[in-house]
Amino acid sequence: MHPTRERGIDIGLLLAVLAAVVIGLLAIASASFVADGMTKVLKQVGFSIIGMTGMVVLMRIDYRVWSRYWRLLLALTILALIGILFTPAVKGAHSWLRLGPLSLEPSEFAKLSLTLAFAALLSRFGGRLSTLPYFLRALAMFVLPVLLVMRQPALGTAAILCAICFVMLYYAGARWWMLAALGGGAVLCFVLALTFGLVKSYQRQRLDFLHADQTSGGYHQLQARIAIGSGELWGKGPFHGTQGQRGFLPEQETDFIFAVIGEEYGFLGCLAVLGLQLFILIRVLRVAEEAETPFGRLIAVGVAAMLGVHVLINISMCLTLSPVTGVPLPFISYGGSSLLTNMLAIGIVLNISRHRKSRRRWAEAEEGVLVRGV
């Protein structure tokens, strides 16, 4: 037996996240300079400082403390998602909570709070999740938050919450037929929503992204493709992109920041960003692999799902491989709520990394599982 002892944090993960934040600040400075000068990049710098402070604080707090307050986290999340529906709509959605000069999105923070609460619940269920009653009890936890997010409406965020739920259920031991039924039920609900007109006209238009042109809802993605393609191998250089600097690319500092990077830093810049995001994802999954407790493993898996789905949706959106959903690129897109949520999540993962098993202990545990045939 090897005694449990606290280890150092995952320095590789920390440095990768800080590098992504710096890249994001450079891209935002270029994307927003013509329209807003340095206003947005300075705001993002402020959120970066707050996020790094929160990350440092959370990496010092034992992650296991969150398992005691999962019911409180769930209740506060639901109350925030209900309350936001009574705020004034911004761009047709009740997603923003204004606190003086700041605007925050409760649905962004809900991704992390629900991940923590769900990890606590699933870790208590243990192997019983393979039985239908416990699977349904676990699934019920996500139903109301997802419906409230859809009511805003924020379909991209709702899709990410569903992905987090699905991945964590799979990792926690749910049977394949349960997950297949869950996926089939989701598809059926979506088809019924389309059939009975529950999907708004602009949302229906976005879903037809493969046939859309610049006069029928495809303008954003067309300009994104032009920007990425015109960057070629090396890019046009910072502040020298035509689509971004001349205002042809909408939402360029948020939804389509990847297109700005493609135009100004070229194919190599896109590869660098993708490689950095992949490195962060791998490090988070490694923390999950070596975590001491099921609760820690489930948190890290949930955070990995959250970040990975964000990257997949955002980049596929820029390449016209998926509809426009308003999902930001982690650590890089402009937006305080998204940045804070992701950095706080990494702070918790870094704390889990301090309590992870050594590679030797992990290998011994895996060998024991294989010998027992479990």
Q: Calculate the average pLDDT of the chain.
A: 86
CA 138 to chain centre: 21
Helix locations, the chain, DSSP H:
11-36, 39-60, 70-83, 106-125, 132-151, 155-172, 176-195, 201-207, 219-230, 242-245, 257-290, 294-318, 336-354, 359-372
Place of tokens 């009653």: 133
Exposure on the CB side of residue 94, measured as CA atoms within 13 A: 14
How far is 111 from 223, CA to CA, in rounded Å?
30
- Which pLDDT does position 200 carry in this prediction? 67
Q: Which residues contact 154 (CB under 8 A, 6 or more apart)?
A: 93, 95, 107, 326
CB–CB of 158/190 below 8 Å? Answer: no
- Which pLDDT does position 348 carry in this prediction? 97
| Token pair of 159 as six digits | 């899709």
Residue 355 Cα distances to 6, 64, 162, 282, 283, angstroms: 5, 10, 29, 18, 15
- Which pLDDT does position 212 carry in this prediction? 59
How far is 244 from 263, CA to CA, in rounded Å?
8
The type of residue at 65 is V
CB–CB of 127/138 below 8 Å? Answer: no
Residue 292 Cα distances to 5, 35, 63, 229, angstroms: 10, 49, 11, 46
Per-residue pLDDT band at 323 (split at 50, 70, 90): confident
pLDDT in tens, 155-164: 889 999 999 9
- Which pLDDT does position 196 carry in this prediction? 65
Least confident of 60-74, 169-183, 266-280, 350-364: 350-364
**How much is the average pLDDT of 328-345?**
95
**How much is the average pLDDT of 191-212?**
66
pLDDT above 70 coverage of the chain, percent: 87
- Enumerate the β-bridge partners of residue 97: 104
**How much is the average pLDDT of 193-210?**
66
- Provide the residue ranges of all domains of the chain, joining segments of one domain with +: 11-365
